[in-house]
Amino acid sequence: MADLRGFDASQVEPSADFEPIPAGKYPAMITESEMKPNKAGTGAYLQLTFQVLDGPYKNRFLWARLNLDNPNATAVQIARAELSAICRAVGVLAPNDSTDLHSLPLTIHVKCVKRADTGELSNELKGFSKKDSSPPPATAAAATNGTPPWKRS
């Protein structure tokens, strides 16, 4: 039981139903991480929470589960490869703890997949890369005062 005295729902906007974000690449960072036991009780997975940093989906959260401790060797191999991609993307090749990966920018590759149990679309993270360091087009144009390349001297 939780004490909810002082809360008045008429004073707070209700949360909206979150639809999956479109497939694509998004700037993000890891905000939370936790090892959790798997359903079967035969291993554990590392759950990572990613927050989108910019664009129309800024502040949306997505999750990845890495089966780092699992009786299925293929599942562990896949999880270790995903962790390697994350580590390379944030520039921490030998983390001591999952918190070493927090608050560092990277690009997440998001896919939309149909859930087997409900048939609804949901997001899955299918890749990780370094955050794009090239300036956005507006910044590049501003740096050249909007002058096309063939007119610059």
**CATH number of the domain encompassing residue 139:** 2.40.50
Position 24 scores a pLDDT of 96
Residue 9: inside a domain: no
Spatial neighbors of 40 by CB under 8 A, at least 6 apart, are: none
Model confidence band, residue 145 (pLDDT cutoffs 50, 70, 90): low
Question: Pick the residue with more confidence: 19 or 109?
Answer: 109
Residue 97: inside a domain: yes
pLDDT tens, residue by residue, 62-100:
999 999 999 999 999 999 999 999 999 999 999 999 999
H or E stretch covering 78: helix 73-90
Q: What is the CA radius of gyration of the chain?
A: 20
Question: Pick the residue with more confidence: 106 or 15?
Answer: 106
Model confidence band, residue 146 (pLDDT cutoffs 50, 70, 90): low
The pTM score is: 0.77
Asked if 55 and 26 touch (Cβ cutoff 8 Å), the reply is: yes
Looking only at the bridges linking them, the beta strands covering 106-114 and 121-129 are antiparallel
Domain count, the chain: 1
